[in-house]
Amino acid sequence: MQSKHIKTIETMMKTPISKPLPLNGVRILDVSQVMAGPYCCMLLADLGADVIKIEPPGTGDQTRGAMGFKMKGSDSMGFLNMNRNKRSVTLNLKTNAGKKVFFELVKTADILVENYRPGVMKKLGIDYPSLKEINPGLIYASISGFGQTGPWADRPGFDLMAQAMSGVMSVTGYPDGPPVKAGVPVADIGCALFAVYGILSAYIGKEKSGEGQFIDASLFDSALAFSIWDTAQYWGTGVEPYKLGTANHMSAPYQAMKASDGYFVMGATNQKLWKLLCDKINRPELFEDPLFRTNPLRLANRLILAAELEKTFSTKTSEEWVDSLLAAGIPAGPINTYPEAFESAHGKHRQMRMEIDHPIEGKVPNIGFAVKLMGTPQQVTRHPPLLGEHTHEILEELGIAGNELKALEDGGAFAA
């Protein structure tokens, strides 16, 4: 039986918007490519912001041509998953004509997000100090691999390098295995989320003070900020964090366990759950064993404990154990593939796969909204834009036409 709360969530997620989204009327210039910047801007666009994607003529965002398979058109599935609800303008920012149009856009903007290597925007004359003269209230967010300052600031920074150099890879995988990165781009996505947090905080501050500000977000800092448990152990004990596979430093057992047909995950994270587990699997001797009497002891003897538990877990399937443990109030779950996660009853209920109408691709899948706003639920109002699709539309909004437009075209504003 569904609770009232679950019914309310399902109803509100399907209810058409009757009032403006929270960021309605906020204009954002997305001068970014690939992942962290575009993803950050898409999240803000989902909340109602008018996001104008400024792209190099000819090629556009590098992600348009990325990935090893082709769609019907020239845009990759990755691009389509990070750029919904935006408008696209092509501008050659290396030309005076292109910069002239860009400056006009800056005058109308509340926020700008860029993720070029430190120094590039200054070389182009469109860094924060330059644009602040045009628009003092501008919130300017720079996303980079290692930040705008420091010995590594000039290095090219991608998710892999940030994971490696922040320490994330040093604790990912199994103790005797080779270096392994997290399966998802935690530095990229983490930085996008931290940037959103900084941008929205700065925007709230601007509403009070009238002043914009500069935001320096980096993949390195973001990845390092996720290391709460590992650094807690290091600072508390002096022991360098190490790889634990699916286990962690906080409690045991809390990891993947092998059943008769494969693995599942479970966690008995406190003494009450540990007693419940021992009773449920009919292993009361484990609860009395001096090696496992307390959580610190179970952590110290983690490998022995896992081996003992798997002697019992190997007698039934993973599904049987998950159902059995959950019925007893012990946290457990299957290890799903992405198709299984999206197609699960829960994934469908949470609408984590949605379809967007695209002028070339037809119906294309997109990942659903990760956070649900109940009063003003997000919606898709625009397909991921074709390269330069809205250039003329936005020029008209700026009042650029006739001889002025021709002069800009002749000056190379919109050509590679």
Task: Answer yes or no: 188 catalytic.
Answer: yes
CA distance between the termini of the chain: 59
Q: Name the CA dihedral angle for 170, 81, 119, 149, rounded to a multiple of 10 degrees.
A: -40
Angle at 191 between CA 189 and CA 192, to 5 degrees: 65
Match 């496992």 to its residue by tokens.
292
Alpha-carbon gap, residue 194 to 187, rounded angstroms:
10
Cα 344 to the center of its chain, rounded Å: 22
CB 159, CB 188: distance < 8 Å: yes
Alpha-carbon gap, residue 352 to 194, rounded angstroms:
22
Is the link from the previous residue into 136 a cis peptide, with omega within 30 of 0? no
φ, ψ of residue 179 in degrees (nearest 5): -60, 140
Cα 312 to the center of its chain, rounded Å: 38
Which residue from 347, 325, 412, 377 is spatially nearest to 18, judged by alpha carbons? 377
User: What sign has the CA pseudo-torsion 79, 82, 83, 85?
Assistant: positive
User: What sign has the CA pseudo-torsion 134, 137, 141, 147?
Assistant: positive
Q: Facing residues of 69 across strands?
A: none
At 304, list the tokens: 């022995």
Alpha-carbon gap, residue 387 to 74, rounded angstroms:
10
Alpha-carbon gap, residue 219 to 287, rounded angstroms:
44
Catalytically annotated residue among 188, 216, 221, 230: 188
Q: What share of the chain is helix, strand, coil (3-state, %, to 5)?
A: 45, 15, 45
CB 275, CB 253: distance < 8 Å: no
At 225, list the tokens: 């900020």
Alpha-carbon gap, residue 191 to 216, rounded angstroms:
10
Which distant-in-sequence residues (6+ apart) come within 8 Å of 201 by Cβ? none
Longest dimension (CA), the chain: 88
- Write out the catalytic residue numbers: 188
